[in-house]
Structure 1
């Protein structure tokens, strides 16, 4: 089966895989094709238990051997090192759908992809921390400006001006602490980015 025909087949079967099977579907099901779809989408062979339960009410029993043959063929599409890498890199969980002989090829790629996914998450977290710190600094600077403008406004009592002076000094202290912390956060983000870049290059070279 060519790649184009395979994609057309998966598209045609999408509704079957996403919804429960009614009586008509159970009666006309091509169990080898359904098995192929499940295998190609990384569903375990045990997925046939769901079809068995859905079709039991209609007096239909899935053809296990045909399903297994199709599932094996679909798994050969799914259980490759390259696809394992792509599945792991997306952060998609592996459902143990590959038979041992195919899993030996799939799992190394999946683990590498998952490692890269974890590094990407770490990088995103580090960048988010830097962005959050910049927003905090901007907010503190704005608060200082606003309180300083209030300080010179008419109609304030002495006590109110004293309180504003105190608030401004506290804001300045908090601003200084926030600014001092920023370089460390930026350095963490830089290290996370370098780790991701190096890992991506190293892992892709081994695919």
Structure 2
């Protein structure tokens, strides 16, 4: 577990923005840059981007050093642990691992990716429920405000009619949201159940 957490931290750090300033290009350690990109599973298109950025300042990229560093980074990336971490964080796999290592990488990547998707499904279900609660409170507030306005004696018939229609709209939406809350709550429970089942499966598997 500690090994995976350490690798995950390294991947996060290597995933920072790739834009390079003139100062960064002038002092670039291309071997180290290549190693970071390899550790993040980047294709050689990333080298093209970096070379173009530095080329715009008249500073060439050291392609040989970059490629040597990238190959070293890929050797660390193309492992089962890194595959699991990439999937767990929802990162795309760009087909950079050689055939001997790719199969084991993808096996763990798929496991991590499924865990990521189940986690996101649970989080999304919670967000949907909380959004519904916020909408319900907003409608209730709107209903109270419209009712308070309707009590005013200085209203024309048209204004009263307009407020009554607004009150009716708020009531309909309140009824709709209140009817929907049990379903949204059940979706949270269902998503959590699938997530916990998969976590239990992984504990047994490992």
TM-score > 0.5 by shorter chain = yes
User: Residue 202 of structure 1: CA displacement?
Assistant: 2.2
1:1-207 alignment, distance < 5 Å: 19=20, 36-44=35-43, 62-63=63-64, 67=67, 71-207=70-206
- Where 1:155 maps in the other structure, the secondary structure is coil
Provide, for residues 74-112 of structure 1, a one-character-per-residue CA deviation record: whole Å limited to 9, x for no partner: 333222222211111111111222111111221111111
Bigger drift between 138-147 and 166-175 goes to 166-175
Q: Deviations over 1:114-172 (max 9, x none)?
A: 11222222222222211111111111111111111112222223443344334323321
Unaligned runs of at least 5 residues, structure 2: 4-10
Whether contact under 8 Å (2:126, 2:188) holds in the other structure is: yes
Q: Considering only aligned residues, what root-mean-square deviation do their CA atoms show, in Å?
A: 3.9
Q: Kindly provide the CA deviation profile for residues 39-68 of structure 1, in whole angstroms up to 9, marking residues without a partner as x.
A: 33323478677789889x98998559x956
TM-score normalised by structure 2 residue count: 0.69
- For structure 1, the residue ranges without an aligned partner over 5 or more in a row are 4-9
In terms of Rg, which structure is larger?
A: 1
Contact 2:15 2:40 in 1 (8 A): no
The number of equivalent residue pairs is 190
TM-score (norm 1): 0.69
- Shift in CA distance, 71/178, structure 1 to aligned 2, threshold 3 Å: closer
